[in-house]
């Protein structure tokens, strides 16, 4: 059979556990990039004698962008890079699931689960910074809402689904 739902569910569960084991820590570290950049910024600010500041909005926005780029570049390699290896690739072929089920699982993880989990952790870390640092307003969350307001009011409308398609296009390249 090309597609068996029970076999696919079993393989998807196996693939998710494998993804968590191979990329879970990296996903957490990369997705906490806004927190790491703020800590470095504040340490440099304190060491240079300027004292504690309320953060830098440009730094936070760029750290989120860098984190997304790092996710696109590193996730496919760490999740599925071993498939082209001689020994690991042979073991991958021997898994009792059809080629379509393996491909569909890879698509679900790369194009749906990874951006959702990474985005939740990224926005969660930015919200955590907003809650911890007094006087700090999340530039990422406020800019997302203002950008969506601008895009819906302007002549050119870019839907969030178009951004997701861009993610899929970039991650599937790798």
pLDDT digits (tens, 9 = 90+) for 29-88: 999 998 898 889 888 888 988 877 766 777 888 888 899 999 999 999 999 988 888 888
State how far the Cα of 117 lies from the Cα of 115, in Å rounded to an integer: 6
Residue 155 above 60 pLDDT?
no
CB atoms within 10 A of CB 117: 18
On the question of pLDDT at 11 being above 80, the answer is yes
Distance of CA 145 to the CA centre of its chain: 19
C-alpha–C-alpha distance, residues 54 and 74, integer Å: 31
Token code pair at residue 66: 């860098």
Q: What is the mean pLDDT of residues 129-133?
A: 79
Mean pLDDT on 138-163: 63
Q: How far apart are CA 80 and CA 62, in angstroms?
A: 27
Distance CA 53, CA 134 (A): 10
pLDDT value for 145: 63
Burial of 56 (0-12, 13-18, 19+ CB in 10 A): middle
Distance in angstroms (rounded) separating the CA atoms of residues 92 and 96: 9
pTM of the model: 0.81
Contact status, residue 37 vs residue 63, Cβ threshold 8 Å: yes
Distance in angstroms (rounded) separating the CA atoms of residues 144 and 126? 12
Per-residue confidence (pLDDT) for residue 60, from 0 to 100: 80
Q: Name the least confident of 2-16, 23-37, 149-163.
A: 149-163
pLDDT score for 110: 94
Q: What is the rounded average pLDDT of the residues 129-136?
A: 76
Q: Cβ(134)–Cβ(41) under 8 Å?
A: no
Residue 53: the pLDDT is 73
* 61 within 8 A of 95, measured Cβ to Cβ: no
């Amino acid at each position: 059979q090309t597609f068996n739902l029970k076999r696919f569910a079993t393989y998807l569960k196996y693939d998710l556990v494998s993804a968590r084991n191979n990329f879970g820590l990296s996903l957490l570290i990369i997705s906490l990039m806004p927190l790491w950049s703020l800590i470095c910024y504040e340490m440099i600010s304190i060491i240079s004698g300027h004292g504690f500041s309320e953060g830098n909005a440009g730094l936070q926005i760029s750290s989120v962008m860098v984190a997304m780029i790092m996710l696109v570049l590193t996730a496919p390699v760490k999740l599925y890079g071993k498939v082209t290896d001689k020994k690991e690739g042979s073991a991958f072929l021997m898994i009792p699931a059809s080629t379509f089920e393996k491909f569909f699982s890879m698509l679900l993880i790369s194009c749906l689960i990874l951006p959702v989990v990474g985005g939740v952790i990224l926005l969660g870390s930015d919200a955590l910074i907003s809650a911890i640092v007094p006087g700090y307003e999340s530039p990422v969350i406020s800019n997302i809402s203002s950008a969506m307001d601008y895009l819906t009011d302007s002549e050119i409308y870019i839907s969030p689904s178009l951004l997701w398609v861009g993610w899929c296009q970039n991650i599937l390249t790798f």
